[in-house]
Chain A
């Protein structure tokens, strides 16, 4: 087995584990992880807010559809990471362009799914609500938003994946901290073991995000009795 893989390019599991323990022991990994996590959380918070509000405006008003949805479609058509040079030109090379790139990816994923979910809310339910005197505000909070929730949660799943992906790209710009910084350092010094540790960290973060999305789905969609596998 050891002969099949060159330990210089593919370190053994024990080597990787020892590296991980060392990185954790020095607090180096936690520090960089926290920096990355903050960027992702900020991008998620701003992106989800913009996505939901924008999808509501586009979903409820004709002018909103023309103003927002058309532009989101264009943004969706361009690979997000191609915006990086523009974001750097606008926001410099600090935290802002990194958070902005994550925000953009999240916003698009949330918008596309939430907007289409709003437009797919059962028209007969909306009609029934109106005949029972439901006003605009209650229509949004009691009919349209909960009706669009399943679609929003699909968007959130995609947004979580997109956020971590955007983070890796964002941290290639002059990042003094973060998992991306550790990754480029490791590449520079040919620390394949560190790269494997970081791949493991990315995998765990992805799984954790998925667990959050699953938890939200089972909690928020408890009214739904849907097919959950035979």
Chain B
């Protein structure tokens, strides 16, 4: 598995440099037992572009994120991803037996610089006081902020977010949206946010894609000025449009 990953990356990264793109995916296909999850899926992302991928459950959106994260390397088509990338999953996936700071610096050389950088990143998500806490003593929102810090500490060129706020309560989610916007503004990674929350997609992304049965059925730029406001009539119009595309009749 690990060997497949490096072979794939070498093959994909070797084909010249495309500095104008953070992600290139062309004609990506993926099937599980003859059931096609992704068909002819193509996506190009510019550096620092924030793309939200909407879809109903089973639409293949998480599968695509796994392809971009090189978690799934057995795919058809052409995929090019940056070397520095990080994933935030729906569940925080912190090692419960490692203190918060050690979770943040997981996989990095344990030097003093890295620890200080880890502490600084924890401060960015407002958890510098929890550096030595056990993950199980944190609330759901705090744990997900640690997961965000663990991703950001690597200074990723591509940040993959797999429904990262799906398990949080509504109030915590609002705070997390603000935090994510702040981190994005500061570090400018390319972001792919997989979500089923239409409002979240419109609030955060530059571009929203709707995935239906393994294909992109709608792609729309969001030109609303920041900070975006749900009471904006253009927001409501976009929301209606996207919900209809997702097969939900808006009220």
Contact = CB atoms under 8 A, between A and B. Distances in A.
A and B pair up: yes
Interface of A: 124-125, 127-135, 138, 142-143, 146-147, 149, 222-225
A134 B107 contact: yes
A127 B71 contact: yes
Listed residue (B2, B91, B96) with the most chain A CB atoms within 10 angstroms of its CB: B96
B131 to A, nearest CB: 15
Interface string B139-176: 00000000000100010000000000000000000000
B136 A224 contact: yes
Given A147-B95, A224-B96, 14 more contacts: A124-B91, A124-B93, A125-B93, A127-B93, A131-B69, A131-B70, A132-B107, A133-B107, A133-B154, A135-B107, A146-B98, A223-B96, A223-B136, A224-B97
B86 interface: yes
A130 B136 contact: no
A143 B93 CA distance: 12
Contact of B95 (A146, A222, A224, A225): A146
Contacts of B136: 223-225
Nearest to A222: B134
B87 interface: yes
Contact of A132 (B91, B98, B106): B106
A223 B154 CA distance: 25
Contacts, number: 56
Q: Which 8 A-B pairs have the closest CB atoms?
A: A132-B107, A133-B107, A128-B93, A146-B97, A134-B107, A223-B134, A223-B97, A225-B136
Interface residues of B, number: 23
Contacts of B91: 124
Contacts of A224: 96-97, 136
Contacts of A134: 106-107
A124 B87 CA distance: 13
Nearest to B106: A132
B150 A132 contact: yes
Given A143-B95, A223-B96, A132 B86 contact: yes
Contacts of B95: 125, 129, 142-143, 146-147
Nearest to A131: B87
Main secondary structure of the interface of B (DSSP, over half): loop
B96 A129 contact: no
A134 B154 CA distance: 13
Nearest to A122: B93
B89 interface: yes
Contacts of A143: 95
Given A125-B95, A222-B134, A131 B106 contact: no
Contact of A225 (B2, B86, B137): B137
A160 to B, nearest CB: 23
B89 A142 contact: no
Contact of B106 (A124, A129, A147, A149): A129
Contacts of B89: 124, 128
Nearest to B97: A146
B132 to A, nearest CB: 11
A142 B98 contact: yes
B108 interface: yes
Nearest to B134: A223
A122 to B, nearest CB: 8
B108 A133 contact: yes
A135 B96 CA distance: 19
Contacts of A149: 97
Contacts of B70: 131
A184 B240 CA distance: 88
A2 B69 CA distance: 80
Contacts of A225: 134, 136-137
Contacts of A147: 95, 97
Contacts of B2: 130
Nearest to B102: A142
Contacts of A222: 134
B41 to A, nearest CB: 21
A10 B107 CA distance: 65
